[in-house]
A and B are shown apart, each in its own frame.
Chain A
Amino acid sequence: MSVAIVGVGQTPFRRSCGINIRELCFKAFRDALEDINLAPKEIDASIICSAPEYDKQRSPAGLISEYLGLTPKPTFYAESICSSSSTGVKVGYGFIKSKLHDIVAIIGFQKMSEISSAEVQERMGRGADIQWESPFGAMMPAGYAMFAHAHMQEYGTTEEQLAKVKVKSSKYSFSNPLAMYRRVITLEECLKARVIASPLKMFDCCANADGASCVIMASEEKAKKITDTPVWVAGIGAASDTLSTTARTNLNGLTCAIDAGTQAYKMAHIEPEDVDVAEVHDCFTIAEIMAYENLGFCKPGEGGKLIEESQTYIGGKIPVNVDGGLLSKGHPIGATGGSQIRTIVFQLQGRAGKTQVDGAEVGLVHNIGGIGLYGNVTILRR
């Protein structure tokens, strides 16, 4: 029995959404259900996904399940920071495959404006190993910046190549009304921007956002009744790596992404060159370049060259993040994976509008939690 994604929904990603988390989730849920004409009572279980340190509500799954009219069906809470909703999709896949549930809703959200920026900063500091790394002022951008310097040293990757990832992102953000930033950014602007954590500058980093996403998954039998255009889960992989930087063996890539990708390709019986369109976790420009290599879109060390040659634009070898990616959309932590899946589902259904990749049959989603802490790769097929 195959498992399908039958519906997807997403709110606009914005700096501040002006509504509460239950209303935010309702918006994405309604967007997904209205599209396929499915009633909330048809859903057998829900998986709510967010990073709880940004929520004021304790145990948000209960609150959201109630507001979405999903009680008394079971609800679960999934967390793997920035890849929480991909984790939710993996759990949902297991529920359906094991025949525990037929139709599962995965709702990811984050309202990062709910807490002050000082509180956000405080939580950022605790994202590293609190005993041995936080006491030195470690934080997310610094972690990825250390990978960037190592990658530049090992492979000769340049700051211009990093900036070109953002230039591509800004070009495609134009066609995505849900993206937070929709302005063309030039290479010069990227290179002149203020430094956040060397060598990463302002435009090398994505921004916090408010937003929600929803993915509706169903068994093969139910999927065929719900929609004429189900998108099949062909491969699904997940892996973890050490939280401590000191315990990492690979400083030029994310081992958890390599592991998750290997599992997903094997399960889908495909090779990297069979992927027609991909969404990768570009929380920083260096993250996208490492993703090209870790997913096998190019050889290790050739990620900089791949963007330099525009091979990840539409028309290139492998179009990547043609919805603007996290760099332009913004990154509402728990909602991000669901948003990436939505983009690929639309591509495979031929509904991607101006950024449609012609004839896309196979799509891939790469969603990372933390600094290569949790790796998730999902392969979808038309």
Chain B
Amino acid sequence: MSFDKFGKMSYVSETKVADFVKYLEEGKIMATRCIRCGKLYFPPRADCPDDLSVDMTWQELSGRCKLLTYTTAHFAPVGFKDDLPYTLALAQCEEGVKVFALFSKDLNENEIHIGMDLRLTPLPLPNGRITYELKKV
């Protein structure tokens, strides 16, 4: 169960939701849904704190979302300096969950406005790593 291929830099290698990466490689962005109470989780989680259930099922997200807020960073933590400047965004998926991700590099900051339509898509990285990003529709 290896999660450490996720993202440009990963601090987590073992998790019950490691299959997320396998789905991502297949081009799918998956959330989890609690079988008992029906609550949808993204980022996916394996355990539901509402009813302590561990029975979850995977559910694919459509990728359609709207921008809630963003920032363009001109300073970065270790490992991200060569990407500067980069734009971080929080978006609301049509299924109701939120996603935190980077904007694709082809988007200019002056094209960004809160409420704009976005698409969440898998993004393969060099060295066999993989992540997801937000693109303009």
Footprint of B on A, CB under 8 Å?
A: 118, 121-122, 124-126, 130-139, 141-142, 145-150, 153, 194-200, 244-248, 251
Residue of A nearest to B17 (CB): A131
A132-B100, A134-B77, A198-B74 known, 7 other contacts, Cβ within 8 Å: A131-B12, A135-B10, A139-B77, A146-B69, A150-B114, A248-B98, A251-B69
Docked complex Cα distance between A123 and B109 (Å): 28
Residues 83-107 of B contacting A (Cβ, < 8 Å): 83, 86, 88, 90, 97-102
A246 touches B97 (CB 8 A): yes
Residue of A nearest to B68 (CB): A251
Min CB distance B110 to A, Å, is 11
Number of interface residues of B (CB under 8 A): 38
CB neighbours (8 Å) of A138 from chain B are 77, 88, 100
Selected from A125, A135, A145, A153, the residue in CB contact (under 8 A) with B71 is A145
Q: Which of A136, A138, A142, A153 has the largest number of chain B CB atoms within 10 A?
A: A136
Footprint of A on B, CB under 8 Å?
A: 3, 6-12, 15, 42-43, 68-80, 83, 86, 88, 90, 97-102, 109, 114-115, 131
CB neighbours (8 Å) of B77 from chain A are 121-122, 124-125, 134, 137-139
CB neighbours (8 Å) of A126 from chain B are 11
Given known pairs A139-B73, A146-B90, A196-B74, the reply for A131 and B8 (CB within 8 Å) is: no
A197 touches B102 (CB 8 A): no
Residue of B nearest to A147 (CB): B69
Docked complex Cα distance between A199 and B102 (Å): 17
CB neighbours (8 Å) of B86 from chain A are 137
**Cβ contacts A to B, 5 pairs, < 8 Å:** A122-B78, A195-B72, A196-B75, A198-B74, A247-B98
